[in-house]
């Protein structure tokens, strides 16, 4: 009969109780993942505790596909630190190194200028129109660790959505046909 025929027969033989059990199990998995993510947000103080490097602008330090672990503390940001920041009008965060820090004497606020290690100039062209410095609210976190190449899974699924749909379909079929 073959693998496909057996899978179809398995789906037909699912009883309502088994279907409910699988739905609850799936719900628990999704809920657990969200709880872990929110817990990491609280522990690290960052709105996104894990990010993937999407470009080669930080080579040779970080390569495309590396995963960075972020932490955001109250300590002042210093030149040389690698930060992840959002720019007004852009969805995707940017990973670059702080090259200049300007502290305002009157308010004590810190303004930051960044640059990719593999780029020629600073990031002022990437900032919003008329913006010359990043402020603290733009910065999502500081890089405190990394895992090389693991982020390629995310990049491949983003650049080629067919792989994402195949993976989701295969996982869904696996959940439906499991007999546990």
Which residues are part of the catalytic machinery? Answer: 57, 96, 123
Q: Which helix (H) or strand (E) holds 15?
A: none
Which residue from 151, 132, 137 is spatially nearest to 109, judged by alpha carbons?
A: 137
Which residue from 64, 73, 20, 9 is spatially nearest to 45, judged by alpha carbons?
A: 73
CA distances 166 to 93, 139, 169, 170, 173, Å, are 27, 35, 5, 6, 10
Give CA–CA dist 154/54, Å, rounded. 9
Give CA–CA dist 140/45, Å, rounded. 9
Q: In what order do the strands lie in the sheet with 110-115?
A: 50-52, 67-71, 139-147, 82-85, 94-103, 110-115
- Is-cis flag, bond preceding 123, omega within 30? no
């Amino acid at each position: 009969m073959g693998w496909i025929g057996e899978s179809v027969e398995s789906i037909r033989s699912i009883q309502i109780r088994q279907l409910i059990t699988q739905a609850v199990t799936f719900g628990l998995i999704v809920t657990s993942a969200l709880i872990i993510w929110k817990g990491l947000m609280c522990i690290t103080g960052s709105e996104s505790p894990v990010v993937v490097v999407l470009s080669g602008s930080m080579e040779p330090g970080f390569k495309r596909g590396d995963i960075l672990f972020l932490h955001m503390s109250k300590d002042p940001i210093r030149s040389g630190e690698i930060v992840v920041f959002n720019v007004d009008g852009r969805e995707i965060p940017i990973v670059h190194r702080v090259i200049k820090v300007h502290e305002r004497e009157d308010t004590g606020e810190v303004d930051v200028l960044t640059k990719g290690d593999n780029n020629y100039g600073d990031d002022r062209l990437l900032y919003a129109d008329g913006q010359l410095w990043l402020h603290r609210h733009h910065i999502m976190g500081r890089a405190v660790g990394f895992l090389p190449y693991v982020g390629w899974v995310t990049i491949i699924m983003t650049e080629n959505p067919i792989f994402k749909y195949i993976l989701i379909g295969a996982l869904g079929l696996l959940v439906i046909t499991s007999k546990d």
